[in-house]
């Protein structure tokens, strides 16, 4: 009986430790088409975590950038990875909304035209474990979006965390979300309590 109690306690504690929290999210809504960066508009690091993308070299002699990216409704996805179902509560605790498209009417996405530029996400990974990035991606403009999952575990606990990749030419991207786990002090207390209970039970049997 005591062994069953111990196992149940450890299972409950493990579930608590594995609850995903919303670190930061981007949906590109209301981002200017000529912008080269955007702060997160979702998650606990809303307005502090940043997404940025480089430009190809300018075209001489006018000095204007080549057309290698776009931000508009043409690249928006309002279905795949749009809801916050990946969170335990299904909502963004910071805003109280349950999907990326809740807060702004003008829905937009990010389109990579040339495939020559770098897309980077910068955030604070201090205190986070099991960091993961998910986003919606379509191989062509107007194509079918699918969810992409990226393990960012190598950035766990890193204060100035940064992840970069090169978007595919002609592809569309939307609804970026970084999640992680922050073990609560109460969870650690539960672990120690369960271990102590097991030790005590073992000693009594002896």
- Domain assignment present for 118: yes
How many separate domains does the chain show? 1
**Half-sphere CA count of 197, side-chain side, radius 13 A:** 16
The pLDDT of 129-146, averaged and rounded, is 95
Q: How far is C-alpha 18 from the geometric centre of its chain's CA atoms?
A: 15
Tokens read off for 107:
């829905």
Bridge partners, residue 178, by sequence: 24, 133
- Could you tell me the residue range of the domain that residue 54 belongs to? 18-182
- Domain assignment present for 204: no
Length of the chain: 206
- Domain assignment present for 62: yes
- Farthest CA pair distance, the chain: 86
For residue 51, pLDDT beyond 90: yes
- Domain assignment present for 93: yes
DSSP secondary structure string for all residues of 54-67: --PPEETTTTEEPS
For residue 118, pLDDT beyond 70: yes
Supply the pTM of this predicted model: 0.79
- Domain assignment present for 202: no
**In angstroms, what is the C-alpha Rg of the chain?**
21
Q: What is the dihedral of CA 54, 57, 58, 60, to 10 degrees?
A: 180
Helix (H, G, I), strand (E, B) or coil at 63: coil
- Domain assignment present for 194: no
Q: How far, in Å, CA of 111 to CA of 140, rounded?
A: 9
Give 67's pLDDT tier (boundaries 50, 70, 90).
low
Q: What is the dihedral of CA 79, 29, 156, 21, to 10 degrees?
A: -60
Bridge partners, residue 147, by sequence: 136
- Domain assignment present for 138: yes
- Per the model's pLDDT, the better-predicted residue between 14 and 161 turns out to be 161
- Domain assignment present for 196: no
Give the position of tokens 């937009």. 108
């Amino acid at each position: 009986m005591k062994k069953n109690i111990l196992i149940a306690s450890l299972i409950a504690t493990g579930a608590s430790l594995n609850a995903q929290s919303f670190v930061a999210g981007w949906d590109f809504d209301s981002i200017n088409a000529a912008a080269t960066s955007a702060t997160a508009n979702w998650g606990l690091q809303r307005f502090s975590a940043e997404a940025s993308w480089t430009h190809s070299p300018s075209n001489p002699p006018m000095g204007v950038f080549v057309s290698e990216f776009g931000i508009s409704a043409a690249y928006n996805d309002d279905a795949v990875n749009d809801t916050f179902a990946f969170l335990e509560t299904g909502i963004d605790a910071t805003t109280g909304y349950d999907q990326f498209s809740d807060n702004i009417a003008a829905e937009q996405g990010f389109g990579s035209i040339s495939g020559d530029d770098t897309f980077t996400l910068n955030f604070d990974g201090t205190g986070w474990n099991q960091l993961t990035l998910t986003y919606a991606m379509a191989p062509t403009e107007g194509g079918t979006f699918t969810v992409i999952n990226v393990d960012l575990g190598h950035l766990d606990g890193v204060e100035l965390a940064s992840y970069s990749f090169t978007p595919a030419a002609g592809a569309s991207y939307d609804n970026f979300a970084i999640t992680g786990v922050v073990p609560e002090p109460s969870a650690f207390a539960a672990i120690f309590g369960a271990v102590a209970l097991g030790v005590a039970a073992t000693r009594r049997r002896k």
